[in-house]
Every structure is written in C-alpha cells, then in structure tokens.
Amino acid sequence: MNERIIVGSIGGAFGVHGEIRLKSFCAEPEAIADYTPLYTDDGRSFAQLILTGGLKGGFTARLDGVISKEDADALRNNKLFADRSQMPSLPDDEYYYTDLIGLDVLDTGGEKLGTVKNVMDHGAGDLLEIQTPNSSETVLVPFTQVAVPTVDLKARRIIVDPPEGLF
C-alpha cells in the first residue's frame, strides 16, 4: 500500500494575494485541512492549509509559503497528498483508490481479466479502469456491489461480474 493518499488538487490562483483554488477529494471536504503536512507530486510540502472560503465544487485556501498570485499559479494542476498515517481508518467495505491500483481483476470463474490501472470518479459513480492482459486497451467497469462483488486487499485481487460483452 502506498504511503501517501491523494486528498485534493490545486486549480491555480484565487485573487492576487496568494490564495489558491482547491478541490478536496475527502469524504468530508473540509477535513483536507486536518491532514497536514500536504505534499505535491514534485515533493514540495506544506505544513499548513487554511480554508478561507467556498467556491462551486471547492474552496479558496492559503498554503504556507504561497504569498503571491505567481506562487499560486505555479501550483496549478498539482495534486495534494497526505501521509497515510494522517488518514482515518476505513470500514471494511470502503477503500482508498490508491489501494486498488495494481490489483488483479478476475471474473467470477477465476479467469484473469487484467489489473486495475486507475479508479475514476466523474460524479455519477466510481469506475475501475482495467488494463487488459497483453494489450494497451482498457475497459471501464462500474465500481458497484453488483459489478464488483469482492475486493480482497490481502490477496491483492478484485472479483468482477461484468455486464455481458464488456470484456
């Protein structure tokens, strides 16, 4: 399992005084401020995040060391990660997306269909992007109890019952 969990992304500057536009991926969006320090893909860390307001689909916020519009714009499109140790424990039927990536995907008969390449949430429900064996093609499977009856993190596998003709 990965040591860091993605918790949000930066959309760029908000105003001219170093505030950022922030999208939270947390179940309780405001909780993103509780998971500091936060890290970017390039290894930059921020010891403090202060939410300063709300926007449609996100927040305005301040990060320590970001004091100008240029500083904030330089962070545009960066993902924010928190240490796994900062994150709350999850019930048995909930998972961090990062824990699913790389798991083997089998059908209900035990035949390998591929591996999880990505987990996506476009608002209408989560989708598993499955990389098929010996191919560059991927297949999207709805991440629902019906289509994905079993997730076994210990065995590093997912059992799917895909709609007919999907694979």
Q: Is residue 167 part of a domain?
A: no
Domain count along the chain:
2
Token pair of 54 as six digits: 């709300």
Looking at the fold, whether 140 and 82 belong to one and the same domain comes out as no
CATH number of the domain at 143, please.
2.30.30.240
- State the pTM of this model: 0.75
Model confidence over 17-44: pLDDT tens digits? 999 999 998 889 999 999 999 999 888 9
Looking at the fold, whether 31 and 74 belong to one and the same domain comes out as yes
Looking at the fold, whether 81 and 9 belong to one and the same domain comes out as yes
Model confidence over 119-163: pLDDT tens digits? 987 777 889 999 999 888 999 999 999 999 999 999 999 999 988
Q: Is residue 46 part of a domain?
A: yes
Q: Is residue 92 part of a domain?
A: no
Show the domain range for 64: 4-86
Give the residue, 116 or 165, on which the prediction is more confident. 116
Boundary of a domain, candidates 57, 86, 115: 86
**HSE (side-chain half, CA atoms, 13 Å) at 145:** 2
